[in-house]
Amino acid sequence: MLPLLGKTKTMILTYSSSFTTRLLALHSTSTSTSTRSTSSPLLHRSPQLRGYCSSRVNRGELMANNIKVVQNPDSISYLNQREAAEVDEILMGPLGFSVDQLMELAGLSVATAIAEVYNLKDYNRVLTICGPGNNGGDGLVVARHLYHFGYKPFVCYPKRTAKLLYTGLVTQLESLGIPFLSVDDLPMNLSEDFNILVDAMFGFSFHGTPRAPFDDLIQRLVNLQNYNEINKKPSVIASIDIPSGWHVEEGDTNGDGIKPDMLVSLTAPKLCAKKFCGSHHFLGGRFVPPSIVDKFNLHLPSYPGSCIEEEVDPDPFLQFQKWFDDVMAAGLKEPNAMALCTAGKDGKPSSRMVLLKGFDKDGFVWYTNYGSRKAKDLSENANASLLFYWDGLNRQVRIEGSVQKVSEEESEHYFHSRPRGSQIGAIASKQSTVIPGRDFLHQEYKDLEAKFSDGALIPKPKYWGGYRLKPEFFEFWQGQTSRLHDRLCYFPEEVDGTSVWKIRRLAP
């Protein structure tokens, strides 16, 4: 049985929005909660860049709710410095992109990633530190968009560029009343005044050693690590494309550089991103055409904002795993909650929410009391349906099939993996039977708690165990504008004596 998804440090999620794709999932201890909708027009909320990881992790890691997740990691491409420069030359040469177009897309991607991860309540004050080149221009665009997202941005831009594009960006920020601060205006401990620090100093084209005043600014970002011990909530650092001061290919070679919490790679991750150990890695920008993908043999995540036949997996179980990976990485509440619909011999339907505890090619498993209403229905009619609804991603999955009990051994193993309180609760509650009141239930629990207070193994009751639904139908639904939703269904068909899954699109 494949366990379900688990929170891992390097999962990759994509978001159902447009310009950014999440590469690395949040650390399970992350305190940065977003208050923004995951269907933002900028974010690609899905797995972390759709199953791409920069390092291997233990997929058997247990979640707090005892669900484990298995993700099928794919490879993702990383560019060296020469390749990154060549890609930019092609984009701004034969492909006709202008610098301001790419800068606007990049800045909007970064701003959206920040808004996705860091909520306004706890992370309102943002300092963007801009260098003299294109990376600094990206930072200026970030500040403008964050202002419109409701944040309070400040800009430190010590080496201004006289080119019209950059002076225009400065004018735009000044028209919004966004303060420009000199290096001397900044406190040595940047956490005193700012919640988020956007590192927009140097991009992949920078060579050599940073000079004044950027050497000092980089050191102030590095020093945040020393302030962490005395600050309850130190500033978080979000680096654009590469952390300033890092080697583009080798990363933080001396180990004493900036340690950003977030990295937003642009176009494709640079080689140094493999050394990134922060909590949030996004891929920004949707301007990589097929010609560049083919020329550099790029492997980049798809955007799950739509559900298209050419992009879904031919195996519905793997497609479900992909979407479930997305949900886990998005941090949605109760991602494994599903509506179970049954009907007895009278044909009257009955629905309730249960928790998915695992799935594999044999089916989807949940556990319950064998004396419950749903168990009675299933004993009379083994056909049932499951419905997953993930509002944050504007998605739902319907699964229909026949149900049978899991083995006693499997039920026994799962029962004893649960907290002792849950084991006692399963015995105390004769599910779906009439009881005189809540006090009666509490007393039953209290009596059993005393009975098993010696810490001995709690025997699984015979009337408790698992069910497995073996799918005969899947429908993947992705919400779209103007009610033109995507509905892709999987039906089993016999081909040359072998059962295969066929995909059909239904009208919304």
> Residues marked as binding for K(+)?
135, 199, 244
- Known binding positions: 134-138, 199, 203-209, 241, 244
Binding-site positions for (6S)-NADPHX read 134-138, 203-209, 241
Q: Which residues are within 8 A (CB) of 327 and not within 5 positions of it... i.e. 6 or more apart? A: 5, 335, 390, 392, 393, 395
**483 belongs to the catalytic site:** yes
Secondary structure of 159-194 as H, E, C letters: CCCCCHHHHHHHHHHHHCCCCECCHHHCCCCHHHCC
Q: Which residue has the tokens 């977003």?
A: 34
In the three-class reduction of DSSP (H, G, I as helix; E, B as strand; rest coil), residue 403 is classed as strand
The answer to whether 205 and 133 have CB atoms below 8 angstroms apart is yes
Specify the 3-state DSSP secondary structure of 26. coil
Q: How far is CA 439 from CA 436, 444, 451, in A?
A: 8, 9, 18
Cross-strand partners of 502: 491
Tokens 């200026």: give the residue. Answer: 140
Q: Which residues contact 396 (CB under 8 A, 6 or more apart)?
A: 387, 388, 389, 390, 477
How far apart, in whole angstroms, are the C-alpha atoms of residue 326 and residue 387? 17
As a whole number of angstroms, the distance between CA 484 and CA 312 comes to: 18
Strands (E), 163-279: 196-200, 236-240, 262-266
Strand arrangement, sheet containing 20-24: 43-44, 20-24, 280-284, 262-266, 236-240, 196-200, 125-130, 152-156
DSSP category for residue 393? G
Token digits for 211? 């000079």
**Catalytic residue (one of 56, 211, 438, 483):** 483
Across-strand partners of 237?
197
Q: Return the number of other C-beta atoms located less than 10 Å from residue 179's C-beta.
A: 13
Q: Looking at the annotation, which residues are catalytic? A: 483
